[in-house]
Structure 1
Amino acid sequence: MLKLKKIAILTLTATLLLSSNAVTFADEFDDKIQQQTEKISTLENDQKVAQATLNTLEQQIGEIEADVKQVFAEKTTEEEKLNKTNLEIADLKIAIEKRNNQLSEQARDVQLNQTSSNLLEIVLGSDSISEAFGRAIAVTTIVHANNEIIEKQKSDQDKLEELVIESEKRIKLIEEKSQLLKEKQEALVAARLDQEVAINELESMIATEKEQKELYEAQKIEAEKKREAELKAIAEQKAKEEAARQAQAEQQAKEAAQQANNQVTIQTQNKEDSSNITINHSEPASPTSPSTSSGWGLPVSNIFVSSTFGWRSNPWGTGAADLHDGIDLVGSSGTPIYASRAGTVVEVSYHSSAGNHVIIDHGDGYYSYYLHLSSFSVSVGQSVSQGTVVGGMGTTGNSTGVHLHFGVSTSLWSNFVDPAPLLGI
């Protein structure tokens, strides 16, 4: 009973280890998901800041564009004024040129007529002194009027030229301002484009991090499903082992009861028979006879299979499927383990996984394996016959309870085959 309790404790420990590992595994995914959430939150905040900066740039660009339009409108107005002034200047130059020609002719005539003789002739030719005086005044008036016209034309021309210079200066200033505004506008547009690129990069990063988060969430779900499947498989394996042990216990109880009945019968016969009866108290015969036509015998007296040959969930909860390269037969610690066939012992050793183990070479290409033994009864190089005790059942090595791992292969430690058909089970 104590041994069965120990087996149960070991099995429970393995289950708890699996649960602990599974929970830790799930927690790791929770941590990764939380980290992704924080990354996404940080990137989204950066995106908001970048978008706010972009909005500010858009507003500044809009203001600059309005200023540029205003400056261009002013420049257009000044250019129109300049063109109008240039037309006026052109017209005025033509008029001035004509007046200059006319004044030149008049001035020439006046100069020619202003000689003493001519002036005297004009005075003398007058009918009266008043007429002579009037003629002299008229000539003087004409010359004076022409001089005023010339001065006025000159003044107008100077003024127009000043207007042209002023207008040209204003246009130059407007052009310089336009150039500065254009450069500022280009800088803002470049900044906006950079900001848009940054926002696109952030959006791409956010999308990537979200995909990674979804991947972790999917992996977590898959890990939880796998954990549940592994826990279920271990529970089923545990139940199977428990059923096998229960069947073994029942078989042992039945055999003990039968042995007690046999003892009572023998004692009764001893009392009734006055003659001396010799009773054979030898151990039950080992399974030296093959169970099947294959020639293989049973490695234990009573067969209780807890795990068959083939793929199964790792009993230690590693999360991977393992190829179980033999069959597990449960029993109590120290149960005799028999050589399934005659052969030569080629290995008697200990391994962290196989525990105490014995390997027999049967000479026909087959090897038999006896793992997790509590003790050895043979040595390397020893020839054994079918049914020879090779050791006692145990739980050494990578084992969760007392049992025999029995295997058969066609090469040493490789090419394992299912031993169940060879044993007829």
Structure 2
Amino acid sequence: MKKTSSRLLIFISIFIVIFVIFQLVNGGPESPNTEPVKVKKVDINSKLPYTVQVEESDQKPETIAYRVWFDFVKSLEREGAIVNPGFTRFTKLSGDENSFVAAVVFQVEIPEGTQEIDYGWGKMEENRVVPNIVWKLTINKEEELTYTLTKIERTTDTEIGLPPVESLEEYRKQAGMEKPSKNIRYEMKDETLRVTYDNGKNWRDVPAHVGELLGSESTVTKQQLIDGSYVLKPEITAFVLNGGSRVLVSTDKGKSWHDAVVSDQLPFLRFLKLGFTSAQDGYLIVTGDKTMSSEAHFIFKTNDGGKSWANAGPVKDVYSLVTDGGFINAQLGFMSFGELRYEAQPPVPNLYRTADGGANWERVEVPIPEEYQGYFTIAEVPIFNGNEGTLLVKQGPDGDYLGGKVLAKFTSADQGKTWSFAGLVDPNGVLRTK
């Protein structure tokens, strides 16, 4: 019995060895998963020319380029080559109304099962999205409302056709803006507001009840005050109390405080901004009595370090909502009232300037380039280095240029009387290659 079992074991072992050798020699059983994938490369220009009829309202080259591109990529989507195409922007590079070149920056998603066709989109990410695809489109006008895409050229320049683009850090450096000091900061602890001037080594209590601080009821759990309601500088520290009716000021790093009355007849507060342009000169802008898209605004000024405040008066005959305001020095100041709309015209920034401390104001023209009109509409208070100023204009409620994240930059060499377009500021890096 034992001899029979041994012979059976030997026979099985020999059979296994022969089977393994056979598999090695013949390459094993056929498996569809081990076959090399045959990738078919397709020149995107082989699908051209491609003709599209646009809408009668499509007048700008960028809009026409969008119509042509959209129809073309939708045809590729119907073929199963891509899904969910989405564009970042269109920019005209050259040409006229009869023949022009436009750049488009866009992305596509590669659907499952299309690896065998390579359209040269670019590097696919883990989520199957190919970002930052850049095409230069050559488009010719055939007849009224009919255009033909004749050539597509790939490039990696995601900023193609754009004016100079700066990051927010670059802008601040160019504008000479100082970074906030970590040594000076406030905190609210046990319902007490306190300030440090040496990065937390020592703290000084601010003699104000939490209930007097602007925004304390809604933000006390976050331990934050509302932006614009305080100033923290080595030479002056100030906090707005009771909705703008008082300002608490220290000029000796919190050793002593002066509680100054600003006004006892202010309306229910919507916006305020406190600022000091020197150890002596400061301003407080307060708005309220909001009704629909109008409100009252008040501009108070001090020239004795916040000990006393005087009403400088409003910008006369302007009742639009205030979006920003402030002074550069005791005389030069700016007020921004959001968008100014004319009938059948795209909105423009509604910015006012004073050169006499607020006694008189005049509206300032901000020359928005044609391709950006209707996008950049809300001016911020400019920053100055001597007579030279830098102005940022944000996108309004209808602004969707690059998702509404990019700002327009303007410069002035005459203390803000006139402005020139200087480029774009890209705070979130949406224009930069990942």
- TM bucket (normalised to shorter chain) is under 0.3
Structure with a larger share of its residues in helix: 1
Structure with a larger share of its residues in strand: 2
* TM-score, L = length of structure 2: 0.21
Q: Which has the higher contact order (CA 8 A, sep 6+)?
A: 1
